[in-house]
Amino acid sequence: MDNFDSSKAPGNENLDAPIPFDEDPDKPIPFDDVNTSETGVSHSPLTLGGGGPVEAPKVKAAPQLTRPAEKKPQEKIVSSDRITGIRTFFTKLHPGAMEFLDEQIGNWLKKNPGVTIKRTNTTTGEVQAKKTEPNIIITIWY
């Protein structure tokens, strides 16, 4: 607990009342009451014992630089090798299911003769269904 000395506080004053102003409340508050001219502080620039003012060295004008030849705008190259679609196949890891997956991929390619396969990826992972089981996942980018 704080040691509050209440002996110096006047007993009859209202502590919640604002402190009265003796001066005009619209008068600006001064920053410093000290007059700087009486303190002996010089406001002139500091000299470090050099001669007169120092002039900046003059720089010779640089020779005119020529602009590099502007490059002709190049035509945008449209690659026919761009990936335009993706198809993912997956199945459980047992021989019958993997044969069925081969048939699915073959049938999809027969139905889509315009598809050019650009990239493939094969991985294994768990696919969640009724039971979470390991699956083979084949992704085809075309």
pLDDT tens digits, residue range 64-88? 767 777 776 766 655 567 888 999 9
Least confident of 48-52, 115-119, 125-129: 48-52
End-to-end Cα spacing for the chain: 78
pLDDT value at residue 66: 72
Question: What CA–CA distance (Å, rounded) separates 53 from 1?
Answer: 66
Q: Is 70 exceeded by the pLDDT of residue 131?
A: yes
Share of residues in the chain with pLDDT > 70 (%)? 58
Pairing of β 86-92 and β 132-141? antiparallel
Q: Are 141 and 85 in contact (CB under 8 A)?
A: yes
Q: Is 80 exceeded by the pLDDT of residue 95?
A: yes
Mean pLDDT, residues 90-108 taken together: 93
Residue type present at position 68: P
Question: What CA–CA distance (Å, rounded) separates 93 from 97?
Answer: 7
Please tell me the pTM assigned to this model. 0.43
Averaged pLDDT score across all residues of the chain? 77
